[in-house]
Amino acid sequence: MAMAKKKVKPKETEEVPKLFFAIRIRGNPGMRRKMLDTLKMLRMHKVNHGVLVWGNPSYKGMLVKCKDYIAFGEIDEKTLIRLLRARGRVIGNETLTDEHIKNLTKYKTIRELAKALINGEIQYREKEIYKIKPVFRLHPPRKGYRGSIKKHYKEGGTLGNVGIYINELIHKML
């Protein structure tokens, strides 16, 4: 009896990972330990904390696993610049400015840094950017969340993969 040969799929070309922004929407009560550990790995310790996440398969898996507690989507350049100016912090809890960017990285302005982050040229793990804090502490959104915080985006809520609505949510929270 001959065994059927397994078809091998050609690997897709690896494109530049997309930059996602994730915001923690719900708190701890009733949460399983594995979920809490995953949120800690993503650095989302408290409600209304946001982080930049690259679209690597491992990070995407973590985002999908925590979809019942966070909202995430692809951030655009305009929103990222505004987020870095308003909520970006360096060690010592000082506001991120163009002068800090010039001293800590090879970029001259926040706009250049944001463009490099969007294009995937630089990531938070690299040596030159480690003094910029990776967590953004946001306010609760003005005029509230879209629908319920217990339902997913497709059901009329705020949770899960919200796509480009994340940019609108960030603007409400700055």
> Across all residues in the chain, what is the average pLDDT?
82
- The domain tally of the chain equals 1
pLDDT of residue 166: 86
pLDDT of amino acid 16: 47
b/e 15-49 (16+ beta carbons within 10 angstroms → b): eeeebbbbbbbbeeeeeeeeeeebbeebbbeeeeb
What pLDDT was estimated at residue 59? 85
Q: What is the DSSP string of 68-115?
A: TTEEEEEPPHHHHHHHHHHH-EETTTEEP-HHHHHHHSS-SSHHHHHH
Tell me which range, 43-52, 115-124, 147-156, is most confidently predicted by mean pLDDT.
43-52
Tokens of 44: 């989302």
pLDDT of the residue at 11: 56
Distance, in Å, from the CA atom of 135 to the CA atom of 151, rounded to the nearest integer, reads 25
Reported pTM: 0.81
Residue 118 lies in a domain: no
CATH value at residue 149: 3.30.1390.20
User: Which segments within the chain are labelled E, that is strand?
Assistant: 19-24, 49-54, 70-74, 89-90, 94-95, 135-137, 160-161
Q: First and final CA of the chain: distance in angstroms?
A: 66
On whether residue 156 sits in a domain, the answer given is yes
Residue with tokens 């799929």: 9
The rounded distance, in Å, linking the Cα atoms of 121 and 115 is 9
pLDDT tens figures, 24-55? 888 888 888 888 898 888 888 888 899 988 87
Identify the top-confidence range among 5-14, 37-46, 100-109.
37-46
Under DSSP, is residue 50 helix (H, G, I), strand (E, B) or coil?
A: strand
Per-residue confidence at 130, pLDDT binned at 50, 70, 90? confident
Domain that holds residue 58: 19-76+137-173
54 lies in a domain?
A: yes
61-89: pLDDT as tens digits:
888 888 888 899 888 889 888 988 888 88
